[in-house]
Amino acid sequence: MRITIMSKRELTPKRHEVLEAIQGRTDHPTAEDVYHSLREQGSRTSLATVYRALRVLAEEGFVREVHGLGPDRFDPVRKPHYHLVCRRCNRVYDAVIPYQDHLDLLPPQAGFRVSGHEITFFGVCSSCSDTKEEGDGQGS
Ligand code: ZN
Ligand code: MN
């Protein structure tokens, strides 16, 4: 059975509102982040509604789910790309290395049809490496 991909017009107003709120964001927000930005804009939506809307939007292919550390994050960039996760601040960044299409052409197991792959790099981001570590003598 195949899921029919909805067009943007078929989205409910709530889901449309959530999609608009995440569009253009590059920080891979959590449902809670999206909820807060909507509330700041005067929306009266609930966190549960935002969470459900993001799940549906991900299932329908409008956004991608990103699994880092902590709660799931969402990405309006639908083009396949890789992520970097900072172990100190938990932020998720887009990797600059291009998606390796050729990996999708090598069957990782006989009979397995690949539709895509994900790569997440874990480490410490540049803004966290710049800051002194705890107990590092943080004088003012
Ligand atoms: Zn960091
Ligand atoms: Mn991304």
User: 49-60, pLDDT tens digit by residue?
Assistant: 999 999 999 999
Q: What is the CA radius of gyration of the chain?
A: 18
Residue range 98-114: average pLDDT?
92
Higher pLDDT, 5 or 44: 44
Tell me the CA–centroid distance for residue 133 and ligand 2, in Å: 27
Q: Is the pLDDT of residue 133 over 70?
A: no
- Name the closest ligand to CA 22: 2
Distance 130 CA to ligand 1 centre (A): 9
Angle in degrees, CA 21, 29, 16, rounded to 5: 25
| Residue 58 to residues 80, 88, 114, Cα–Cα distance (Å) | 14, 27, 19
CA–CA separation, 69 vs 87, rounded Å?
8
- CA 18 to ligand 2 center in whole angstroms: 17
Give residue 139's pLDDT band: very low, low, confident or very high (50, 70, 90). Answer: very low
